[in-house]
Structure 1
Amino acid sequence: MKRRIAFATCVQLGLSCIEEIYRIGGNLDLLITLKDEKAKKKSGRIYLDDIAIQHGAPLLKIDNINDPDVLTALIEHKIDWLFIIGWSQIAKKEVLETPTYGCIGMHPTLLPVGRGRASIPWAIIKGLKETGVTMFKLDEGVDTGDIIGQGVITLDGNTTATELYRKVDEMHITLISRYWNDIVNNNITPTKQDEYKATEWPGRKPEDGEILNSMSMEEADRLVRAVTRPYPGAFYKEEGKTLRIWSAKVEENYYNKNSIKLSDGYLISLDYEIE
């Protein structure tokens, strides 16, 4: 029996999954995204008009994943599974229970570690040696649902947000390809998360990217790498100017006009803008 599947996203990670589903011969019965004027500055923001037209898929544009329009569409299209990926609004119980078998999400950590927001920056700021992506069944909690599958991504002392975002994107594609047939054939066996190992990471704002003179070289270096593109970038304020830093290096005894004094050395800006 053919499962009817819907997909909600408004970011590149989700679009990459949709493209992979079609590439491996899958089909989507409904696409859901934000209205064009909403979240224009969201990191990785994309639009689904072209791919919907290309594959003849119905496209629903919404303000919120919990809108009555969403429930109506899920019922009308007899949806069995709903993917919600790269979506910052939390789906409520009614949405989660409307598809026959439920909803599936992805989170860019190895759950139950790193529930919450800003997963890519935090993995670098925390100096993790590995992170990953988890595919899981959505429930009413935040990133607390049963795990369908995971993929591991390794990090080192040079990993930037740009590189990690690309690896996370690739891992989304890998997991979609790996588990698509099992999902379509209702052959998945999700496993419970271990609550004893659970951690939660808070959200981050652009102003959290400020470089302070009290920081160590390690802290400043990690912050620059963690919030570079596609994020808003690290910055340093001095004499009424803001230095926006996209890449940098650290040195103990180096000084020039592009260097920032830290507690144990200097941060030298390599790719930067003066605002």
Structure 2
Amino acid sequence: MIARSADWSLELIVTLELEAAGRHSDFVDLNDIASAAGARIFRTINSNSVDCLDAIGQSGADFIFVIGWSQICREEFMNLKPGKIIGYHPSPLPRLRGRAALPWTILLNEPITAGSLMWLGDDVDNGD
């Protein structure tokens, strides 16, 4: 589990509102994972909302990981931790970039796939 380390802690998990989960076939309720990790959970439909930004800002986190969230992180979000926001994409970038990486992996009958972590940059789909 990502939160099992003596060197760091998981402070906050931002996840989708339960009422909106039905429109996402890959939704997993993270409440039990948050509880087991001792993390607070914040539910939202908009990662750029003032309430969400406040929750993240008040969490005291050193880094922000954006995993499994298809919304664009706007300027206010990126300003929470400049240079310390890490994104995840479910393909070996730059191959299969875009919103449909998993369907294209299946449609192209890819025998092997990968995931990519990147520092989020100041524009969509850029950063090291």
TM-score range, shorter chain: 0.7 to 0.9
Summarize the Cα distance change of 1:140–1:37 in structure 2 as closer, same or farther, 3 Å threshold. farther
Q: Tell me, what secondary structure is at the counterpart of 1:51?
A: helix
Q: Which residue of 1 aligns with 2:29?
A: 47
Aligned-residue CA RMSD in angstroms? Answer: 2.0
Q: 2:80 aligns with which of 98, 123, 127?
A: 98
Stretch deviating more after TM superposition (50-59 or 113-122): 50-59
Q: Which residue of 2 aligns with 1:81?
A: 63
Q: Tell me, what secondary structure is at the counterpart of 2:85?
A: strand
1:80 CA displacement: 2.1
Summarize the Cα distance change of 1:100–1:144 in structure 2 as closer, same or farther, 3 Å threshold. closer
Summarize the Cα distance change of 1:113–1:59 in structure 2 as closer, same or farther, 3 Å threshold. same
Q: Which residue of 2 aligns with 1:38?
A: 20
Correspondences of 1:19-38 after superposition (within 5 Å): 20-25=1-6, 26-38=8-20
Note the residue ranges of structure 1 that are not aligned, 5 or more in a row: 1-19, 147-275
Structure ID, larger Rg: 1
| In 2, Cα distance between equivalents of 1:46 and 1:129 | 26
Q: Given the alignment of the two structures, is residue 119 of structure 1 paired with residue 101 of structure 2, yes or no?
A: yes
Give the alignment's TM-score, normalised by structure 1: 0.42
| In 2, Cα distance between equivalents of 1:144 and 1:98 | 18
| In 1, Cα distance between equivalents of 2:66 and 2:113 | 21
AA in 1 matched with 2:9: N
Summarize the Cα distance change of 1:68–1:135 in structure 2 as closer, same or farther, 3 Å threshold. same
Count residues with an aligned counterpart. Answer: 127
Q: Tell me, what secondary structure is at the counterpart of 1:40?
A: helix
The sequence identity of aligned pairs, in percent, is 38
1:84 CA displacement: 1.0
1:130 CA displacement: 4.2
1:121 CA displacement: 2.0
Checking the alignment, whether the CA contact within 8 Å between 2:10 and 2:38 is kept in structure 1 is no
Q: Deviations over 1:110-148 (max 9, x none)?
A: 1122211221221232344543211111224343221xx
1:35 CA displacement: 1.1
Structure in which a larger fraction of residues adopt strand: 1
| In 2, Cα distance between equivalents of 1:21 and 1:133 | 15
| In 2, Cα distance between equivalents of 1:101 and 1:138 | 8
Checking the alignment, whether the CA contact within 8 Å between 1:111 and 1:143 is kept in structure 2 is no
| In 2, Cα distance between equivalents of 1:68 and 1:77 | 14
Give the alignment's TM-score, normalised by structure 2: 0.83
AA in 1 matched with 2:95: V
